[in-house]
Chains A and B, each alone.
Chain A
Amino acid sequence: MIDRISGIALNTFRESVRDKVLVTLIIFAVVVMGSSRVIQPLALGEEAKIIKDIGLSAITLFCVLISILVGGRIVYREVERRTIYIMLAKPVRRWEFILGKYLGLMAVLVVSLVVMTAAFYLILLVLGVGAPLYLLLAVLMTLFELAILTAVAVLFSSFSTPITGAVFTFAVYFVGHMSRDLKLLAAISPSPVVKAVSYFSYYVLPNLANFNIRPEVVYGVPLGPSALLLPGLYALVYAATVLLISAAIFNRREF
C-alpha cells in the first residue's frame, strides 16, 4: 500500500517538476520578492518591514497559485489522457490513487516553499535588513493553509474540469479568508437567505484567515505554541475530511 501511494506521489511530483508551469511560477515569485526593493523611498524601519511582508506574501501567493493551477487539473489530466485506465487496472485502490496524487502535489509545494524561502532569506541578507528565523513561522502556517487548499483542489479535480475546478478552489480560498466577515454578516443580516448562506459558508468552508500570521511575525509580536498547534491540527483534520470526500466521489466514477 505504501509502495503504491508513494509510487503515485513520486510520479505526480516528477510530472510537476518537469513541467514549465511550476518553474515559471517559482521564478516569478523570486522576481517579485527581489523587486520589493524598488518600493522607495520610505522611512528606514518601515522599509525593512515592507520588504519582509512583500516577500512572505509573495511566497504564499505563488504557492497558492501552484496549488490551484496544478491541483485543479491533477486528476482530470489522468482521465483526459486516459492514463487513468492503466493506473486503475493495476492493483491500486481508488483512494490510494487520490491520496498519492495529493501527497505528490504536497511534496511539490514543500519543495517550492523551501526554494522560495531560501531565495527570500538570501534577498534579506543581500539587502541587509536582517533575517530573523521567526519569519519561518509564517511560512509554516502557509504550508498548513496549502494542505487544506490542495485537498480542496484535488476534490474539485476529481469530478470537474480544470477551469471549473480552479475557479471553485479560488472561490473557496477567497471566501475562506473572509470567515469573520461571514459570521458577522450572518449575525446582522435581516434576510434569512443571506443568514443561511453565510452560516453555511462559515461552518463548511475552511477558515483560512487564521493562517495569516504575517503581520505578527513582521512586527515581532510574540506567538504562543497554541497559535501554531491549533491551526496545524485544524488543517490536518480539514484536509483529511476533504480527501475522504474526494475518494468517495472518485470511487463512484466510471471511465
Chain B
Amino acid sequence: MASLPEPVISVIRLSKVYHSGFRMKRIRALDDISLEVEKGEIFGFLGPNGAGKTTLIKILMGLTEPTSGTAQVFGRPPRDAKAKARLGFLPESPYFYDHLTAREFLVLAARLSAVTKSETAGRVTGLLRLLRMENAADIQMRGFSRGMLQRVGIAQALVADPELVVLDEPMGGLDPIGRKEFRDVIVDLRDRGKTVFFSTHILSDVEMICDRVGIVIEGRMVEVGRLSEILTGDVESIEVTVRGVTGKTQKILERVSQHSLRSGDELLLTVKGEEEVDRIMAISREVGGIRVVGIVPHRRTLEDFFMAHVAKAGRSRD
C-alpha cells in the first residue's frame, strides 16, 4: 500500500492573537491560515510588512505558540527536538554573538545540531568558502555589516545539512550581487532534494525561484498555489503601436481600444485581445498612410496580482 508522502510543513487553521501595549490591544497577526509544504519544493511566503510572515515562522520554529490551530514540522509539534534536528533556520535581520568569530560561531552551531567533531571543521570551512567569507572567518563578528551577518546566518542554518531550511526575509540587507548569490544557494538546495520555505515582501525574489507561493495579507492567506496557476498564462492586454496617425484616423482607432496614447504621428493603443488587433490591422489596410509597427502582448505579473489583493484588503478595511 502506497502511503502519501508526509508534508514537511503542515499548518491547519492557524491563528495568532497578540495582546500589546498598555491597554492590551488585540492584534490578529494570523487569521485562520492553512498550508502544506511538500518535500523538495521552494515555497515562497509572500506578503507586505506586518502581514504575519515572521509570526508564522516563529510558530513553526517553536518560539511562539499559536492561539488556535495546529502547526507541524515533519509530522511533529514544532518544539520537538527531533523535528528541529532536521531543519535549519535563518531569522529576520539576524544577530549573533559579538564576542565570537564567524568560525567559532559555526562550530558552536554544529555542536548544538549534533554534527560530529570529525565532520565539523570540513563543513564549516566549506560553508565559509561557499559564502565567500574566508577572509572574515576569524575576526569577531562585532563589526559585521548586515550583509555579512546574513551570510553567517545562512551558514549556521546549513551547518547540519538539514532537510528543511526556513529563511525569514533572507535577501534583506543584501546588495544585488548578494541577492543573486542567495538565490543560487536556495536553488542549489532544492536541486539537492532539500525543502526551502522562505518569506519575503519582494516579488522578484519569489518570481524567479519559487515552485509555489502563498500570499498573505493582514494575517490572511489570500492565495496558495503554483505560480503558473496563480498567474494564468492568459494575455491580459495587447499594446499595438500604429504610425502615420492623423486626427481623423486616431478617432477611428480609438473606438477599438481601451486606452490610447499619442506621441507625434505614433499612437499607442491598449486593446483587450487578438480580435481587436485584427480589426486594427483591417483599418490600417482600408485607411491609407497608417501602418502597424508593433504588437506587444501583456501577461499578468505577480505584481499586478499582489497589488490587486493589497488594494482589495485596503478597501474591505475601510
- Which residues of A does B touch, CB under 8 Å? 3-4, 7-8, 10-11, 14-15, 18-19, 81-93, 254-255
In Å, the complex CA distance between A116 and B58 comes to 44
Residue B95 lies at the interface, judged by CB distance under 8 Å to chain A:
yes
**Is the pair A11, B91 in contact by a Cβ cutoff of 8 Å?**
no
A117 to chain B, nearest CB (A): 26
Q: Could you list 8 A-B pairs, sorted by A, with CB under 8 Å?
A: A4-B111, A11-B97, A82-B91, A83-B97, A86-B156, A87-B112, A90-B113, A254-B64
**Is the pair B100, A90 in contact by a Cβ cutoff of 8 Å?**
no
A20 to chain B, nearest CB (A): 11
Nearest residue (CB) in B for A7 is: B111
Residue B256 lies at the interface, judged by CB distance under 8 Å to chain A:
no
What does DSSP make chain A's interface, helix, strand, loop or mixed?
helix
Nearest residue (CB) in B for A88 is: B63
Best-surrounded residue of A84, A86, A87 (most CB of chain B within 10 A): A86
**Is the pair A88, B61 in contact by a Cβ cutoff of 8 Å?**
yes
Per-residue A-contact encoding for B38-53, CB less than 8 Å = 1, 0 else? 0000000000000000
Q: How many chain-B residues does the 8 Å CB contact rule pick out? A: 28
Residue B85 lies at the interface, judged by CB distance under 8 Å to chain A:
yes
Q: Which of B61, B100, B109 contacts A14 (CB 8 A)?
A: B100
Residue B114 lies at the interface, judged by CB distance under 8 Å to chain A:
yes
Nearest residue (CB) in A for B85 is: A91
B139 to chain A, nearest CB (A): 13
In Å, the complex CA distance between A93 and B94 comes to 21
Nearest residue (CB) in A for B54 is: A85
Q: Which of B65, B81, B96, B114 contacts A86 (CB 8 A)?
A: B96
Best-surrounded residue of A7, A15, A93 (most CB of chain B within 10 A): A7
**Is the pair B99, A85 in contact by a Cβ cutoff of 8 Å?**
no
On chain B, the residues within 8 Å of A88 by CB distance are: 61-63
**Is the pair A255, B114 in contact by a Cβ cutoff of 8 Å?**
no
Nearest residue (CB) in A for B104 is: A14
Known: A3-B114, A82-B94. A92 touches B99 (CB 8 A): no
Residue B84 lies at the interface, judged by CB distance under 8 Å to chain A:
yes
On chain B, the residues within 8 Å of A87 by CB distance are: 112
**Is the pair B113, A15 in contact by a Cβ cutoff of 8 Å?**
no
